[in-house]
Structure 1
């Protein structure tokens, strides 16, 4: 990852905007608004209107690439690799974001809303809380996090565009699979995407602010940190 000067302010602004959108969806779900029901029913009808055996078999396998358990396993592997390369700040940042915002934060939100799963055509059985979607949250934070870092560190515009396209396409597909399988309402996955996107942007903003103090702290612990993801912009 190459160095470049980046200001944290735009990341906080974008993150807050996505949090506001998440709040709007959450408000509608919590109070069971009519527009939420209409939105959900319309998209369930569209997405589950083309179910086939072969498609279902493929989707059941692929959708697990966005599961919280697998994302946590991938995160542990990446964090270990970063620690091995003595990029401790980056490892703590990445691992901490997934642990506290995806795993713990997502679980807290599920308990708060305690929304039942759709009572329609479920192609796989799920019985725990529905809102927000754990797959959507984990997928958006994990793959979105990696995608945005690659975009920020890429030099050529065409590379940024390709990475953004692939990341959004993959995240969108995982979200689609949860509705297709009948285990989530569309607003479940939309909320997971909005919350996850907010986390990604705010997390990068926070890291830009604390990366130097964090490195100084690591030095006091006799840990030579070689993280080099970003340089904070001094004038903003």
Structure 2
């Protein structure tokens, strides 16, 4: 009963995130001028606060959402998990980052075909703008790590500190895309919502198979 209730809560959260994403996506697709009333002033303001220090910082941060960086980070985590016989964790992490975020985000962008902001881009960025791939991969990568650490967080300040780092890092990657001029705020929000929806949906299934793994060891 407890597991069923937990699964219900997580799936409800998934539906909420997906619904919000679909509403936002509908507005972006058919009423872009409406969402630009919020997006554009923020982007214009960002241009006014740019500095050499902030540009260097966010240019460095955004690299952790690039494909090559994500591949190296995921491989490093997978190696550590595999050595610890955490195969279910490995499969879940690869599914979330490689398939759902990597392939899924690339294809979904075609559905909305939103052009990138018209302000100066401080880094190169190809493909369409909505939803942000960097935002989606950051929530799926660091959100997955965050949830993997949940069973070990109680009574451990080190694990809690690592979880806080995951949250802050995911947020910074999203912010970097706004600062660098390659995404609107709504693109970032869309990436977070879509990634969070899948994360909330898949987490109860991950817990189920992880328990089976522990039981069979």
Q: TM-score range by the shorter chain?
A: 0.7 to 0.9
Q: What are the superposed Cα offsets for residues 53-95 of structure 1, whole Å, 9 maximum, x if unpaired?
A: 2221222122111223322321122223322332222211221
- Measured at CA, do residues 39 and 152 of structure 1 come closer, stay the same or move farther in structure 2, by a change above 3 Å? farther
Aligned positions of 1:35-184 closer than 5 A: 35-156=34-155, 162=161, 165-184=164-183
SS state of the match for residue 149, structure 2? helix
Range that drifts further, 189-198 or 64-73:
64-73
- Once the two structures are TM-superposed, the CA of residue 98 in structure 1 deviates from its matched residue by 1.5
Partners in 1 of 2:156 and 2:72 — Cα distance?
Answer: 32
Range that drifts further, 39-48 or 99-108:
39-48
Contact 1:135–1:174, Cα closer than 8 Å, also in 2:
yes
Range that drifts further, 134-143 or 105-114:
105-114
TM-score, normalised relative to structure 2: 0.86
List alignment gaps of at least 5 residues for structure 2: none
Partners in 2 of 1:50 and 1:90 — Cα distance?
Answer: 41
How many aligned positions are there?
215
SS state of the match for residue 115, structure 1? coil
Partners in 1 of 2:171 and 2:80 — Cα distance?
Answer: 28
List alignment gaps of at least 5 residues for structure 1: 216-223, 227-236
Q: What are the superposed Cα offsets for residues 190-215 of structure 1, whole Å, 9 maximum, x if unpaired?
A: 101111111221121222345567x5
Contact 2:61–2:172, Cα closer than 8 Å, also in 1:
no
Which of the two has higher C-alpha Rg?
A: 1
Range that drifts further, 144-153 or 157-166:
157-166
Aligned positions of 1:210-225 closer than 5 A: 210-211=209-210, 215=213
Contact 1:68–1:134, Cα closer than 8 Å, also in 2:
no
TM-score, normalised relative to structure 1: 0.80
Greater helix proportion: 2
- Measured at CA, do residues 103 and 114 of structure 1 come closer, stay the same or move farther in structure 2, by a change above 3 Å? same
